[in-house]
Amino acid sequence: MLSVKNAAGGYSKDLVIKGIDLTIQKGEFFALLGPNGSGKTTLFKMINGQVPLKQGEITIEGKSVSALSKLEKAKKVAVLSQEAHVSFDYTVEEIISLGRYPHQKGVLKKLSKADRVIIDNVMEITNTKIFQKKQFRMISGGEKQRVLLAKALAQEPELLLLDEPTNHLDIKHTFHMIDLLKEWQQTKELTIFAILHDLNVASLYADRIGLLHDGKFLEVGDVNTLRKEGQLQKVYEVQVKNQSHPTIPKPQLLMTPDYKTEHEPVNFHHCYSVKQNDRLIHIQFFEPLRTISNGVAGEGLEWVTHFCNYHVDKGYDCSTPELDIRNWMAEDGIPSEQAVAMMTAVKLDDMVLMRKHEDGMNIFAMVTAGTGNAVDISAKNNAALKRRTGTINTMVFVDAHFTDGALVNSYMSATEGKVKALQDLQIKDPETGTFATGTSTDSLLIGVTQKGIQTPYAGSGTAVGKAIGGIVYEATYQAVKKYLNRAGNQ
């Protein structure tokens, strides 16, 4: 569809674009990325014919851009730039109608019924119909951008050139616009060449990206190119961290500021408070911790300040546990978006709190335990699960700086400590009579302060992993003993 071969050019003797090669297939969404001054707009204007080539060739469907007449180009290519200047005092509808001009026949250009159907359609899908009679100069910058998009779509182009199309748009209209463009790409084989500043939007919508640096492509490839943190740091000169989008297999990028907040050293065990009653154990840290958990609410990898363990009755209806627990936190004045919460039917009076200082590291653990739901994960059990009181909820807080990998390691170390405690206590799965590895509803959290030297490993072969596994072992052992003693006395 679009071919750029050894293209070079600029605004003076100095070349801004220095030998670019690029092929974009029909129906492809290509995003051009790069910092200000990298040459994005110059390349854009070379493609649409505003800036002449000093060497090379640019073709659309095999025909040189310079050889296309204005009418031929307008039938094939629509351009949406950042500039929204209109010389005449047109209404919104009149601006959009200009998109049909290349398709009108005869000396006296008039809109046909088919033209009007197309104009009405693009106004509807771009949400511009509501102000179609307004003067273009009287609407906001974001509304102007939507009008110019409608005009471009009214052209029914084969190739759409976009220079920062979401400029002036809020989040809602940004995603509405690009969702619409993506739909047209997929249903009408519209080819899209877009300059984008938002790397995350580019990752979500583009099929391929080109990373422009100093007038040359550093790399052209699929969106996984954005996972190369070192390359992005070289181009944008900022610290970049890549992570996967939680619901689709695309990378998303986090920018890390250079500033650092200095804090006076504080005793770790003075950095939190613990409140407990018959209904709730509430541990609150004064600064957020990086956490990994399978809590009822706040699960996954998060930054969290509040840690809750709620008591529920044996007959609790667990059809909507997350909704229930968020409602309880709201009643207690705890911001659920900054919390991890668990639930248990065991008595909260039997919790075990344990603090340790090992190998120069401070660790704090909270465990509540019941083993009525004990299961051997390796045993085949076809019997229907029976409702019993018994969940082991574990929270471990460490004054350390872990990578995400170390957080996963620490989760394994804590689990190993729990399993070892159950083995030594000879806790068995009541359905199979074999030794239990946990309960069917266990929750576990690891929280770290992210202070000090970064630790890449926290498995059972490391000092920190052994410290985590050790404190979980001891706290679980004591908590289960309390549970068994209470059960034996009832």
Q: Note the pLDDT of residue 120.
A: 93
Six token digits for residue 108: 């006296």
The pLDDT value given to residue 332: 96
Kindly report the CATH number assigned to the domain that includes residue 450.
3.60.70
The answer to whether position 465 is within a domain reads yes
What's the Cα-to-Cα distance from 470 to each of 178, 276, 445, rounded to whole Å?
52, 24, 15
Q: How many CA atoms lie within 13 A of 219 on its CB side?
A: 14
Asked if residue 278 and residue 203 are part of one domain, the reply reads: no
Q: Which residues contact 201 (CB under 8 A, 6 or more apart)?
A: 166, 174, 178
Range of the domain at 465: 272-489
Lookup result for tokens 């900022």: 238
The pTM (predicted TM-score) of the whole model is: 0.83
The verdict on residue 266 lying in a domain is: no
In a domain, 336, yes or no: yes
183 with 276, same domain: the answer is no
pLDDT value for 370: 93
Q: What is the DSSP string of 16-49?
A: SEEEEEEEE-TT-EEEEE--TTSSHHHHHHHHTT
477: in domain: yes
Residue 283 shares a structural domain with residue 159: no
State the Cα–Cα distance between residues 331 and 334, nearest whole angstrom.
Answer: 8
| Domain annotation covers residue 57 | yes
Same domain, 333 and 446: yes
Both 173 and 232 in one domain: the answer is: yes
User: How many structural domains is the chain composed of?
Assistant: 2
Chosen domain end from 226, 256, 286: 256
Same domain, 151 and 285: no
Distances (CA, A) of 282 to 144, 224, 296, 324, 420: 51, 41, 15, 16, 27
The predicted pLDDT at position 278 comes to 94
**φ and ψ at residue 27, rounded to 5 degrees:** 80, 15
| Sequence-ordered alpha helix ranges (H) in 375-459 | 404-424
Q: Measure the CA–CA gap between 432 and 430, rounded to whole angstroms.
A: 6
Cα(334)–Cα(223) distance, rounded to whole angstroms? 39
Looking at residue 10, its pLDDT comes to 85
Secondary element (H or E) of residue 114: helix 113-125
CA distances from 380 to 8, 370, 385, 390 (A): 68, 22, 13, 20
Buried-exposed string 444-479: b where 16+ CB fall within 10 A, e elsewhere: bbbbbbbeeeebeebbeebebbbbbbbbbbbbbbbb
- Which residue in 167, 110, 115 sits closest to 141, CA to CA? 167
3-state secondary structure of 401: strand
Which of residues 205, 221, 256 is at a domain's end? 256
Pairwise CA distance, residues 394 & 403, whole Å: 21
Domain match, 232 and 278 both: no
Asked whether residue 147 is domain-assigned, the answer is yes
383 domain-assigned? yes
Spell out the per-residue pLDDT of the chain, length 490, in tens: 899 999 998 887 788 999 999 999 999 999 999 999 899 999 999 998 888 888 999 999 888 888 888 888 888 899 987 655 666 688 999 999 988 888 877 666 788 888 899 999 999 999 999 999 999 988 888 888 889 999 999 999 999 999 988 877 889 988 988 999 999 999 999 999 999 999 999 999 999 999 999 999 999 999 999 999 999 998 998 989 999 998 999 999 998 887 766 556 678 889 999 999 999 999 999 999 999 999 999 999 999 999 999 999 988 887 899 999 999 999 999 999 999 999 999 999 999 999 999 878 899 999 999 998 899 999 876 555 555 557 999 999 999 999 999 999 999 999 999 999 999 999 999 888 999 999 989 999 999 999 989 999 999 999 999 999 999 999 999 999 999 998 776 5
- The per-type count for the chain, helices as H runs and strands as E runs, is 11, 24
Question: Does a structural domain hold residue 267?
Answer: no
Q: What is the pLDDT of residue 107?
A: 62
Residue that terminates a domain, selected from 232, 256, 280: 256
Do 199 and 78 share a structural domain?
yes
Q: Is the same domain home to 215 and 79? A: yes
Contact call for residues 339 and 361 (beta carbons, < 8 A): no
- How far is residue 168's CA from residue 174's CA, in Å, rounded to a whole number? 9
Report CA-CA distances (Å) from 61 to 55, 159, 351: 19, 10, 72
CATH of the domain at 231: 3.40.50.300
Strands (E), 222-376: 239-244, 251-256, 272-276, 280-293, 300-311, 339-344, 352-358, 361-368, 374-375
List C-alpha distances in Å: 193 to 178, 202, 263, 391.
12, 11, 47, 55
Do 16 and 215 meet the contact criterion of CB atoms below 8 Å apart?
yes
Question: Same structural domain for residues 246 and 310?
Answer: no
Helix, strand, or coil (residue 56): strand
3-state secondary structure of 13: coil
Same domain, 317 and 218: no
Verify that 245 and 374 share a domain, yes or no: no
Give the three-class secondary structure for 6: strand
